Structure 1
């Protein structure tokens, strides 16, 4: 059976706008033969019960996340599709350490670049998401992705790159200067000028975060062809996924790209060469109307498969899912977070898949139950308002006869 790799769609001339999705595509290109897999730009995490991309579908089995997908291919192919099979114990330890390093340092830097920075988000990232998302996902998914990116990168203390934060600072300044004579006030600044000022003010932190991520990679690469030796490994795939997204997009605030050009030329050239050689170039977003994926002039053909068009019922289901997920209590129970990893040999994976099926069925019940409940409450409310529904009233308790002091004396009620 042909494996299906579901990813976020193309953007910035790359096969995907997500680093782990790019890493998964790179891994598949290097480890699987042609015809053994297909690439589906679903751009919808709910396509799998795990609610995460990249997601691998092998028959009835779903695996999500780059690390879990690599582990699954290793276990199910007896090592034939394992790029780490030639690593010694020391290199395997380095692979684990560098994978953790890439996600802990590279992802926050990528979040700052594409999502937290208002200039970059509204000029580049938001339009790229609009090209790959269908309605109604295009309404709420970009906002959700940006909020997640802000939370992942908030420890860096660079939230002022966001225009909303700049507006709050601006309002505070206006309140403080309200009582200062106009002749002594500084010229009023626009939000754009505030953002530019915040970028300059935070440039030291931005450069430090960039160096904190790129310096170890440059040192590790050295004069080697790959990070861990003479052959490609999963760490190389993940590294190229992050580096490609950090240096390829044309952004208004391109501090990372400037760092590549000034200090990390060798690392930049290595990532660019591998990206164009393995992933190809000039990938275009899949238009919901034209259903065109990729570009005929790509140097490396990827096994693109057009995702099926969603029915009106699926669109309605997506809207209701979004509403349910936003609810404080029900939303947490609705998210498939009970199974975060689907890895492990044999029986353990089958057990987790069985649990996953049960959770998916429970989630599918929530929407009809919620719709039925809301419809019933609405109908009862309308009927009651129109006076067509008379609710029964409790009968008043009959009061006993009171004979005063005589009744009390005789015990009569």
Structure 2
């Protein structure tokens, strides 16, 4: 892959930068404080054509690809949104768009993608369960056969964007453990209405990423029609992994942009702040080295993520690259925001200077949407050929 952006990609980045500049640090600080969805920002993103950059032209998208989407998220994050902007793309052009394009019906593509791209319709995905966590194969939500459809019962937790969504991608068992030859058998994916009878949800109070709600979701005898299946009945596990690996790309792009932003805020402050003998604190190596380290790691994560996105666009396996990129980006972002706060001293703790929000938001991504430990497990088994430990 090439590192240099094409002329078209440079124009896309410029457009994203202009949109992001309209909703800078103060906007995102205020939305975080009020725990409000960034309606105005998401509307502007969609109106600029940025939401649908990786989705088919026939449905109103640009048909360009995942790499261009990563560039957009990096830019929006770096202009003030921080890492949570990746969740907006994760929920919509990934959980909604990629899932429908790759595994949905023609009816779903025709009816839903134009609404997604315009911002009229939002999505969420109900996957994680209280008693399963990262061990997704232990999920207990069960969609029992019922005529030409199913009846779903169960519970999910830490589901992003439920209140704003009109459609929910639900992962559930459609085959009981006793009937499955393998643990990964009998898992199916459905796309249903969030407001359907039998679905209830409650918002979780949390440390950061407050602009997007995280919810506990309950399913009580929820009717699912047969044509709401996404992908292959009983064989949704590999299809789910495909969607989740694409999710990593959006997450990483948001983290990379956040490192950019945190370092800029820290270095701008350090150039102006003078403490001993009138010398700017930016001259202290004790402040320089940690930020320089985070910058180096950010650039590595950026390149690996763009490689993953390029492989996705070429229809080639990209899971290893997307997971490695997410691992390094989350660690670099955690370090960069921590050191940016340390650089600013007490002012880094003040909401006025914004870094504390970036720090709170990015902490989530050390263990979500996949934990560091699970990524290391993946690398050990699949890249190093070591024995499975879990």
Bin of the TM-score, shorter chain as denominator length: under 0.3
TM-score, normalisation: structure 2: 0.25
TM-score, normalisation: structure 1: 0.24
Q: Relative contact order (C-alpha < 8 Å, sep 6+): which is higher?
A: 1
- Greater CA radius of gyration, 1 or 2? 1
The structure with the largest strand share of the pair is: 2
